[in-house]
Amino acid sequence: MKKIDVQNQPVLPPRRVFQIALTGVKYRLFRATVTVAVIIVAMAFLMNILTESLIKRAVADSVREQIVDLHRVDRWIARLSMPQPHEDLLALLTNGEAEAEAWTELAARGGLAMKELEALQPQARAAQDALHFFAALDYGRRRVLVGPAESIQIFHRLQEAGAWEQFAANLTDMKTLRFPTDMDSFQAFLGDWPALYDALEGVREGQSAALAALRAQLGDTPLMGALGQVDGAFGDQIRAAGFSLSAAEADTLVSEVERLEQTLRIEATINNPGVRQKVAALRDVLPGDVTLSMIWDLLRDRDRAVWFIAAMQENGLETDRLTPEGLEALARQRAHTRLLQVAEQQTMGAGGGLMGIGARMTWLALVSMLVCAVGIANAMLMSVTERFREIATLKCLGALDAFIMSLFLIEACLLGLVGGLGGALAGFVLAGGRMALMFRGLLVQAFPWGDVAVAAGISVMLGMVLAAVSAVYPSLRAARLAPMEAMRIE
């Protein structure tokens, strides 16, 4: 049989294919816009989640230290009121080397040698691991395993007759649970627990004794007032009682207490009818509607602060040590503190998971990606199936399968690119706006530009890839068919 004198078809230059694809997109602009809109929505959703989580993480990182400072006075009051809880001591013991001072204090309090402390460290670590495990358990399962016991009581309970066997049996039944150590070493730990507990109790007793002595020296002076002079004799008493307190820490404490005290005085003015009336007149509201934040807003202005101090004096309130500059600074500090508190609340659970956006957010992001994929696949599938007739015609005119594939891939990538960019922008604006409202000033220094750029890149790429991948299958199917068969599918 004779061979036909066919040569292979030339491949169209990419520029020409691109031109044809572009003309096609322009012609079906409305259809393309709908597809792009689907991609925009999908990618905006993803970008929104990513940006919010990244911002929260960055803010959490940047405010962590300031938040620790925020609670300094509270922490000292707690320390000077009662012995530390067992759990805190266990934590100190576990990461002892990192806080050498704390360790020295521990040793002194418990009357233990450093060697002894070191010997206790592995057990303390085992105790902490176990405590984490039980704390993370849901109530029902914990109840089955260890009854109503909580925290270190669990270790005591497991010492009771029969409790261990029951615990071990139940744990084996709960197949999805992973205990941090094997059962033998946990049992060994439980054997050692009474000794560890005694050591901890020793430390606590030492602390109690020291605190009792301290309180005797204080007499009737309230702790808060005493802390206001911690840079003087009281600081020495604290050190003498065996607490580590640096001079710098003492100075900070003093100014912090002073600030707290001034804050309390300002906030007490709201109970003074005279001051209240003046503020109400100024703000043109009823005296009953005057709020604390109204007063703090006033004080942020220097002139108003002067006016406010005068108002306090007029009404017979103590203005000793209150200066307009001081009040202004206090008001600003308070606004910042508020912001920090909001940040602390909002960024709880930030970090971890993919890109550090948190485990929950990772889930959300993955699920949203899935939803995007389905939406985009559907949109692309529709726009390709609509064009089977066109594909068939092009094939009748001598188009190669590769040409048809590249036509659709180019179109899909183009739509994906536009949709991805639009979505990234929309998601960024949305998330950025919301976060800016929430964190305000904190955001300026902490804004994670680099991470957000990466997230935007991911969204754009994902938009393109999803669009391209979902266009491949239907266009490949259409390109492979004989032209008339493709024309028949409608």
Partner 1 sequence: MTAVAPHSQNDASPDAPQRVIIRTVGMKKIYHRGEETTYALRGISVEIFTGEFIVVMGPSGSGKSTFFNMIGALDSPSEGRVFIDEVDVAQLTAEELAFLRCRKIGYIFQSYNLIQYMTALENVTTPMAFGGVNPDEARKRGMDLLELVGLKDRWSHRPIEMSGGQQQRVAIARSLANQPSILLCDEPTANLDHQTGDEILAILQKLNKERGVTTICATHDHRMMNICDRLMWIRDGDIDRIARRDEVEVELGHIE
CB-wise, 325 or 485, nearer to partner 1? 485
Per CB under 8 A, contacts with partner 1 among 374-393 are 389-390, 392-393
Per rule CB under 8 A, is residue 471 in the interface with partner 1? no
Among 42, 155, 395, 427, binds partner 1 (CB under 8 A): 395
Among 240, 348, 396, 489, binds partner 1 (CB under 8 A): 396
Per rule CB under 8 A, is residue 394 in the interface with partner 1? yes
Q: What is the 3-state secondary structure (H, E, C) of the chain?
A: CCCCCCCCCCCCCHHHHHHHHHHHHHHCHHHHHHHHHHHHHHHHHHHHHHHHHHHHHHHHHHHHHHHHHHCHHHHHHHHCCCCCCHHHHHHHHHCHHHHHHHHHHHHHHHCCCHHHHHHHHHHHHHHHHHHHHHHHCCHHHHHHHHCCCCCCHHHHHHHCCCHHHHHHHHHHHCCCCCCCCCHHHHHHHHHHHHHHHHHHHHHHHHHHHHHHHHHHHHCCCCHHHHHCCCCCHHHHHHHHCCCCCCHHHHHHHHHHHHHHHHHHHHHHHHHCHHHHHHHHHHHCCCHHHCCHHHHHHHHCCHHHHHHHHHHHHHCCCCCCCCCHHHHHHHHHHHHHHHHHHHHHHHCCCCCCCHHHCCHHHHHHHHHHHHHHHHHHHHHHHHHHHCCHHHHHHHHHCCCCHHHHHHHHHHHHHHHHHHHHHHHHHHHHHHHHHHHHHHHCHHHHHHCCHHHHHHHHHHHHHHHHHHHHHHHHHHHHHHHHCCHHHHHHCC
Per rule CB under 8 A, is residue 440 in the interface with partner 1? no
Among 74, 150, 236, 485, binds partner 1 (CB under 8 A): 485
Among 47, 230, 384, 399, binds partner 1 (CB under 8 A): 399
Among 214, 206, 219, CA closest to 240: 214
Q: How far is the CB of 2 from partner 1 (least distance, A)?
A: 5
Among 68, 233, 292, 484, binds partner 1 (CB under 8 A): 484
Please tell me the distance from the alpha carbon of residue 486 to that of residue 159, in angstroms, as a whole number: 77
Q: How many residues bind partner 1 (CB under 8 A)?
A: 33
CB-wise, 134 or 403, nearer to partner 1? 403
Q: How far is the CB of 373 from partner 1 (least distance, A)?
A: 28
Binding part of the chain for partner 1, among 100-108, 327-335, 395-403, 421-429 by CB under 8 A, reads 395-403
Q: How far is the CB of 490 from partner 1 (least distance, A)?
A: 12
Per rule CB under 8 A, is residue 239 in the interface with partner 1? no
Binding part of the chain for partner 1, among 26-34, 170-178, 303-311, 343-351 by CB under 8 A, reads 26-34
Per rule CB under 8 A, is residue 57 in the interface with partner 1? no
CB-wise, 376 or 394, nearer to partner 1? 394
Q: How far is the CB of 24 from partner 1 (least distance, A)?
A: 5
Q: How far is the CB of 486 from partner 1 (least distance, A)?
A: 10
Q: How far is the CB of 61 from partner 1 (least distance, A)?
A: 52
Per rule CB under 8 A, is residue 398 in the interface with partner 1? yes
Q: How far is the CB of 426 from partner 1 (least distance, A)?
A: 29
Binding part of the chain for partner 1, among 8-16, 67-75, 211-219, 264-272 by CB under 8 A, reads 8-16
Q: Are 442 and 395 in contact (CB under 8 A)?
A: no
Q: How far is the CB of 34 from partner 1 (least distance, A)?
A: 16
Q: How far is the CB of 381 from partner 1 (least distance, A)?
A: 20
CB-wise, 301 or 401, nearer to partner 1? 401
Binding part of the chain for partner 1, among 24-32, 191-199, 232-240, 328-336 by CB under 8 A, reads 24-32
Among 42, 6, 48, CA closest to 456: 48
Contact set with partner 1 (CB under 8 A):
1-4, 6-10, 12, 16, 23-24, 26-28, 389-390, 392-401, 403, 482-485
